[in-house]
C-alpha cells in the first residue's frame, strides 16, 4: 500500500517544447510536400502527361500492349505499382480516364473492353479492375516514337530496381490534344483539348512563321463530348495569348414533334447529366419551369440522351433559351494553361506551348539521331574490318585453324590483318559457313549505305531547318492517320438570342400582403375580387403592408440586421386569401433571429429611403442604390448599424413627415431638409436635438396620414431641431 502511494506521488515532467519560427516550419515541413504535389503529381508536362499517366502508359508499353492482346486491367494496375507507389484504386482511376469507354479524352490512349463509366455522368460507376480489359490505342505509338534510342532521359524508379522515362517523346503536341486538369498547392491547371488535325497544322504553320495567326488555323477548342462553343473571337484570342480566360458552351438538342419531347444529345464538357436533370427538377419544384412535365436520362448503348417532356403548347426553342439561362445546359470552361517546363510551372498561351513543344521535340529527334549515328558507326567499324578479310579469306581461315589456343585467335587476327580487337572479335564470331566471298561482299556492300546515312544524320544534327522539316513531315502523317472532324461546333456570339425572363413573364395585377409575423402572400386581383373569404392569419397576427402592384415588380425587404433581401414578384407562387402565405425567413434564408422590418414594392427603383435612428439622426438614400445587375438576392450593409434603427420609410418624392419620440414629443418637417447621400451605410445628419438623458425617436409618419392632430403646429424650419411637447387638447398618441 505504501509502495502504491509512493508511485502515485511521482512527478510527471512534460517534455520540453521546441519553439520554431513559422517560416522555418513552412520551409522544412510544408514546402517539400507542396513541391512534390506541383512537380510530381498535379501539373502536366510538355508531353501532355502527369507522372501517374506516364508511369501507367510506359508499363503497358513494356507489357507489349501496343498492338498486342487485351489483358485484365488488374494485371496492368499490379505492374504499374512497380513504378507508381500509390494504391491500386488510384492507379485504376487514372487508367479509367484514359480509356475510350470513359469518353473523357478527345483521342483516348487506352483501348478498353467493359464498363469504364462515363465522363458525362458522376453516378455511373466503372467496373472493378478484375472485370475489365485494356490495351494501348494505336495512337500511343506516336507517344513512344524512338523511346529506345535515348530520345528522353530515364531515371531510377522509387526503389532503384527499374528505369522509367521522365517524359515520353511525343511526336505530336499531345499537351493540346487531350484535356488535362489538376489542382496542386497554391496553383492549378486546366487545359482544354484541341482538334488533332488543327493542332498539327497550327504547329507546322508556327514553325514556318512564329507570328502566324493561330486562330485562323485552330479557331477554338474541341471536346470529346461535342456540344457547341459560344464563339467570341476577342475572348478566344486572349486565351490563346495569355493561357487564361473562359468561354461558354451550349448543349445540342433536337425536338421530337411526335412525342413533344426535347432530346439533349451533347452537353458541355464541364457538366454532367445528373447536374442538368437535378437543376431542371429543382426549377420545376420551385414553379419556375411550368413548361416541363418530366426530365430523365435515357442514355443507352446508342449514346447519350436526356429526354425532356413538354406540356402542350410549349415552344421548344423558347424553352431551350430559358434552359440555357437557368441550367448547366449552358456552362463555362475556365482555361488555365499551367504546364511544367523543366520542373518549373509556367502559365503559357497556345503559341508559347507550341514553341516549347517544338524545342522539346527537336531535342528528342537529335538525341535519337545521335543514338543512330553511334550504332551505325559501330556497324560501319565492324564492316570495315570485314572488308579487309575480303582481300584474303584463306589467310583468315588459316590463322584461325593454325592457332592452338582459343584466347590467341583474336590477337592473331589483329596482327594478321591490322584490325582492332572489336573488329577481330566480330570476325572470329562469324560461323564457318559464312566465311565465303558472297557473304562478305554482301555485308561490305552496306558500307556505302551506312556512310551515306551517317552523313545525313550529321546533317540533321547541324541544321534546325532539317529537324523542323522532319517534325512537319511526321505531323502531316499523324494528322492524316489519326485526324478527325471537329466534334464541337462554333456558335457565333453575335447570332445568339439571349433569354430575358422579363420578356416571357405573364403580367397581371395583384396585391402583396405582409404580416407582422413575417408571412407574405401574392394574391392576383382576379382571385381577390372573386373571394368572400377572410385572410387566413396566425393567432395575434395582422397585416401591416398591403400594396397593389403587378407580376413584373420587385420586392425589397429591409431587416433589423442592416441587410436587404430582394425577390422578384414573379418568382413567388400565386396565393389565395384563404392561404397562410410564404414564411419569409425560410423563403429568403434569413440569419437566425433576423426579422424583416420594412418592405418596398417597386418596378423601377425610383424614389428614396429614409432611415431614422435612435440617436436622432436621419439618412436619405436613393432606392437605386439597392438595384443590382447580377440579380443578387442579399445585400449587406443596407443602412448604418452604428445606432439602432427606429423607423424606415419609402418616399416617392419629398414630403412632410412627423417624427414622434418615445415620450410623445413631436417634430414636423419636410424631408428635403435631409440631404441625399450616395452611400447606403451613411450615418446621416442630426435631425432631433436631444436633451440630456436622450429622447429616442419612436416612429415616423407621413404628414398626410399622421395620427397627430394639428401636426403642422410643431414644424421645424431647420435641423437639428427640438421635438415639442404636445399642446393641451392635442391628445395622446399610441406608439404602436
- Please identify every residue annotated as catalytic: 131
The answer to whether 164 and 134 are in contact (CB under 8 A) is no
The answer to whether 156 and 185 are in contact (CB under 8 A) is no
Rounded distance between C-alpha atoms, residue 523 and residue 421, angstroms: 106
CB within 8 A of 385, min separation 6: which ones? 417, 419, 420, 422, 423, 424, 426, 427
Q: How is residue 262 written as a grid cell? A: 426535347
Rounded distance between C-alpha atoms, residue 357 and residue 338, angstroms: 14
Listing DSSP states for 128-160 in one string gives PTTT-EEEE-TTHHHHSTTGGGT-S-EEE-TTS
CB within 8 A of 387, min separation 6: which ones? 440, 444, 447
Query: SS3 of 501, please?
Result: helix
Residue with cell 487514372: 94
Residue with cell 394574391: 523
Rounded distance between C-alpha atoms, residue 230 and residue 491, angstroms: 5
The answer to whether 279 and 324 are in contact (CB under 8 A) is no
Query: How is residue 385 annotated by DSSP?
Result: H
Query: SS3 of 45, please?
Result: strand
Rounded distance between C-alpha atoms, residue 481 and residue 139, angstroms: 9
Q: How many residues in the chain?
A: 736
Rounded distance between C-alpha atoms, residue 109 and residue 116, angstroms: 14
Sign for the CA dihedral angle at 400, 405, 406, 410 comes to: negative
Degrees, nearest 5: CA angle 180-184-185? 165
**Chain mean position to CA 683:** 42
Residue with cell 502511494: 5
Q: Which residues of 362-381 are buried (b: 16+ CB within 10 A; e: fewer)?
A: bebbbbbbbbbbeebeebbe
Give the distance between the most distant pair of CA atoms in the chain: 151
681: left (phi over 0), alpha (psi -120 to 50) or beta: alpha
Burial (CB count <10 Å: 0-12, 13-18, 19+), residue 719: middle
**Full 3-state SS string of 436-477:** CHHHHHHHHCHHHHHHHHHHHHHHHHHCHHHHHHHHHHHHHH
Residue with cell 499490379: 78
Nearest Cα to 619, choosing from 694, 701, 674? Answer: 674
Nearest Cα to 709, choosing from 735, 728, 730? Answer: 730
Q: Are strands 676-677 and 617-622 parallel, antiparallel or unpaired?
A: parallel
Nearest Cα to 362, choosing from 207, 212, 193? Answer: 207
The answer to whether 339 and 328 are in contact (CB under 8 A) is no
Amino acid at each position: 500500500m505504501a509502495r502504491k502511494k509512493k508511485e502515485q506521488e511521482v512527478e510527471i515532467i512534460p517534455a520540453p517544447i521546441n519553439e520554431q519560427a513559422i517560416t522555418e516550419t513552412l520551409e522544412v515541413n510544408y514546402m517539400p510536400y507542396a513541391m512534390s504535389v506541383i512537380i510530381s503529381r498535379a501539373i502536366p508536362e510538355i508531353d501532355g502527361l502527369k507522372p501517374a499517366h506516364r508511369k501507367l502508359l510506359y508499363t503497358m508499353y513494356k507489357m507489349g500492349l501496343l498492338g498486342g492482346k487485351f489483358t485484365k486491367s488488374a494485371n496492368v494496375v499490379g505492374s504499374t505499382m512497380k513504378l507508381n507507389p500509390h494504391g491500386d484504386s488510384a492507379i485504376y482511376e487514372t487508367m479509367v480516364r484514359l480509356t475510350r469507354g470513359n469518353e473523357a479524352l478527345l483521342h483516348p490512349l487506352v483501348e478498353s473492353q467493359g464498363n469504364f463509366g462515363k465522363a458525362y455522368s458522376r453516378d455511373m460507376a466503372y467496373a472493378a479492375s478484375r472485370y475489365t480489359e485494356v490495351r494501348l490505342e494505336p495512337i500511343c505509338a506516336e507517344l513512344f516514337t524512338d523511346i529506345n534510342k535515348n530520345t528522353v532521359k530515364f531515371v531510377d524508379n522509387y526503389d532503384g530496381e527499374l528505369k522509367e522515362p521522365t517524359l515520353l517523346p511525343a511526336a505530336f503536341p499531345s499537351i493540346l490534344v487531350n484535356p488535362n486538369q489538376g489542382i496542386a498547392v497554391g496553383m492549378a491547371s486546366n487545359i482544354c483539348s484541341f482538334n488533332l488535325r488543327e493542332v498539327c497544322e497550327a504547329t507546322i504553320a508556327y514553325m514556318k512563321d512564329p507570328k502566324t495567326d493561330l486562330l485562323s488555323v485552330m479557331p477554338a477548342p474541341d471536346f470529346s463530348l461535342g456540344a457547341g462553343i459560344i464563339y467570341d473571337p476577342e475572348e478566344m484570342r486572349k486565351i490563346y495569348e495569355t493561357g487564361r480566360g473562359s468561354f461558354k458552351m451550349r448543349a445540342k438538342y433536337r425536338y421530337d414533334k411526335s412525342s413533344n419531347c426535347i432530346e439533349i444529345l451533347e452537353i458541355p464538357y464541364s457538366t454532367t447529366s445528373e447536374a442538368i436533370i437535378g437543376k431542371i427538377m429543382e426549377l420545376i419544384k420551385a414553379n419556375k419551369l411550368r413548361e416541363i412535365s418530366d426530365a430523365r436520362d435515357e442514355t443507352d448503348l446508342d449514346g447519350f440522351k436526356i429526354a425532356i417532356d413538354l406540356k402542350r403548347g410549349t415552344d421548344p426553342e423558347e424553352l431551350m433559351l430559358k434552359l440555357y439561362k437557368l441550367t448547366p445546359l449552358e456552362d463555362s470552361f475556365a482555361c488555365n494553361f499551367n504546364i511544367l517546363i523543366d520542373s518549373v510551372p509556367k502559365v503559357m498561351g497556345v503559341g508559347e506551348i507550341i514553341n516549347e513543344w517544338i524545342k522539346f521535340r527537336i531535342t528528342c529527334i537529335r538525341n535519337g539521331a545521335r543514338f543512330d549515328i553511334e550504332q551505325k558507326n559501330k556497324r560501319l567499324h565492324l564492316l570495315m574490318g570485314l572488308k579487309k578479310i575480303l582481300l584474303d579469306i584463306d589467310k583468315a581461315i588459316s590463322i584461325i585453324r593454325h592457332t592452338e589456343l582459343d584466347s590467341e585467335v583474336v590477337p592473331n587476327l589483329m596482327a594478321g590483318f591490322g584490325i582492332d580487337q572489336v573488329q577481330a572479335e566480330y570476325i572470329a564470331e562469324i560461323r564457318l559457313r559464312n566465311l565465303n566471298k558472297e557473304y562478305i561482299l554482301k555485308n561490305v556492300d552496306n558500307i556505302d549505305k551506312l556512310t551515306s546515312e551517317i552523313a545525313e544524320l550529321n546533317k540533321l544534327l547541324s541544321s534546325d531547318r532539317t529537324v523542323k522539316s522532319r517534325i512537319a513531315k511526321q505531323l502531316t502523317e499523324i494528322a492524316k492517320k489519326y485526324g478527325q472532324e471537329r466534334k464541337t461546333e462554333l456558335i457565333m456570339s453575335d447570332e445568339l438570342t439571349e433569354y430575358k425572363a422579363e420578356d416571357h413573364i405573364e403580367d397581371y395585377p395583384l396585391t402583396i400582403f405582409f404580416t407582422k409575423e413575417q408571412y407574405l402572400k401574392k394574391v392576383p386581383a382576379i382571385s381577390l375580387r372573386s373571394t368572400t373569404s377572410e385572410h387566413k392569419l396566425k393567432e395575434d397576427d395582422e397585416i401591416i403592408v398591403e400594396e397593389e402592384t403587378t407580376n413584373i415588380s420587385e420586392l425589397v425587404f429591409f431587416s433589423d440586421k442592416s441587410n436587404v433581401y430582394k425577390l422578384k414578384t414573379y418568382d413567388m407562387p400565386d396565393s389565395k386569401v384563404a392561404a397562410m402565405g410564404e414564411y419569409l425567413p425560410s423563403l429568403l434564408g434569413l440569419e437566425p433571429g433576423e426579422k424583416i422590418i420594412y418592405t418596398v414594392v417597386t418596378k423601377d427603383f425610383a424614389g428614396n429611403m429614409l432611415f431614422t435612428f435612435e440617436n436622432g439622426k436621419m439618412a436619405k438614400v436613393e432606392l437605386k442604390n439597392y438595384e443590382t445587375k447580377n440579380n443578387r438576392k442579399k445585400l449587406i450593409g443596407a443602412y448604418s448599424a452604428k445606432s439602432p434603427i427606429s423607423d424606415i420609410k419609402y418616399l416617392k418624392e419629398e414630403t412632410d413627415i412627423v417624427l414622434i419620440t418615445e415620450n410623445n414629443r413631436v417634430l414636423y418637417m419636410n424631408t428635403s431638409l435631409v440631404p441625399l447621400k450616395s452611400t447606403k451605410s451613411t450615418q446621416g445628419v442630426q435631425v432631433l436635438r436631444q436633451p440630456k438623458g436622450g429622447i429616442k425617436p419612436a416612429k415616423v409618419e407621413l404628414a398626410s396620414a399622421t395620427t397627430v392632430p394639428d401636426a403642422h403646429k410643431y414644424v421645424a424650419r431647420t435641423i437639428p431641431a427640438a421635438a415639442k411637447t404636445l399642446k393641451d387638447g392635442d391628445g395622446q398618441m399610441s406608439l404602436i
